């Protein structure tokens, strides 16, 4: 696996906007999507959603995501560990996802988050050829491990947040419960929210 400091990989947006924090949500679109959007709308916060295209269909609230100012990126088609695939397999997985999302939404996909945060030189080459920017994160909430501890999700993020942080979250029920408090505490630290 490559280092997050790789020049081709975005982990922080400090250079774009001081005090800006980016919330990113992986593994959707999920059955909780509308409830996530309700929280984000109430708090007037934009976010970035990295979706598996195999889960995207016309009944998902993708129109609302775009209408409310959020960004949709690809999380590959079927969520494989890309480093276990050869170049051609990675190209097919990412390109398929990009095309499906673009065909359904009518919006260009400009960002890729590799599943499991795993990537290699081939992934970077594929991303470059497809003109998508690889986006990792600076702070992980570890929300997938904390089903019964939403307060710990909040603590994991707020104890490390800084200017330009990209935060890794998922479209999970426990994350949904933690989200209003998480946003409130980040705002209390003087940070604003932005998308990519």
Look up the CATH number of the domain holding residue 172. 3.20.20.370
The confidence score (pLDDT) of residue 18 equals 65
2 assigned to some structural domain: no
Between the CA of residue 116 and those of 53, 64, 75, 76, 182, what are the distances in Å?
16, 27, 10, 11, 23
22 Cβ contact partners less than 8 Å away, ≥ 6 residues apart: 13, 47, 48, 164, 165, 166, 167, 193, 194, 195, 196
Beta carbons of 174 and 153 less than 8 angstroms apart: yes
147 assigned to some structural domain: yes
75 assigned to some structural domain: yes
The confidence score (pLDDT) of residue 36 equals 98
Provide the β-strand partners of residue 24: 48, 168
The confidence score (pLDDT) of residue 169 equals 98
Domain hosting 48: range is: 9-193
Q: What is the pTM of this model?
A: 0.94
The confidence score (pLDDT) of residue 5 equals 54
The confidence score (pLDDT) of residue 19 equals 76
174 assigned to some structural domain: yes
Beta carbons of 113 and 171 less than 8 angstroms apart: no
Pick out the chain residues at pLDDT < 50.
1-4
3 assigned to some structural domain: no
Using alpha carbons, select from 35, 21, 73, 83 the residue that is nearest to residue 51: 73
The confidence score (pLDDT) of residue 193 equals 95
Q: Nearest 10 degrees: CA dihedral of 97, 140, 152, 179?
A: -50
Say how many domains are in the chain: 1
Return the percent helix, strand and coil in the chain, to nearest 5: 40, 20, 40
Provide the β-strand partners of residue 165: 12
4 assigned to some structural domain: no
145 assigned to some structural domain: yes
């Amino acid at each position: 696996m490559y280092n997050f400091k790789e020049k081709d990989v975005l982990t922080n947006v400090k250079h774009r906007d001081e005090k800006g924090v980016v919330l990113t949500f992986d593994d959707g679109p999920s059955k909780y999507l509308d409830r996530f959007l309700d929280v984000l709308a109430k708090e007037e916060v934009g976010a970035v959603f990295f979706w598996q295209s195999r889960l995207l269909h016309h009944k998902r609230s993708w129109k609302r995501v775009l209408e409310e100012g959020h960004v949709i990126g690809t999380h590959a088609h079927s969520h494989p560990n890309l480093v276990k695939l050869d170049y051609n397999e990675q190209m097919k997985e990412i390109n398929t996802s990009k095309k499906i999302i673009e065909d359904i939404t009518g919006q260009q996909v400009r960002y890729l988050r590799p599943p499991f945060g795993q990537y290699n030189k081939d992934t970077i080459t594929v991303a470059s050829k497809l003109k998508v920017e690889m986006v990792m994160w600076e702070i992980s909430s570890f929300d997938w491990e904390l089903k019964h501890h939403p307060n710990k999700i909040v603590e994991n993020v707020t104890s490390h947040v800084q200017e330009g942080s990209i935060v890794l979250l998922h479209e999970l029920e426990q994350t949904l419960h933690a989200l209003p408090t998480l946003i409130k505490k980040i705002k209390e630290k003087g940070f604003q929210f932005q998308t990519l």
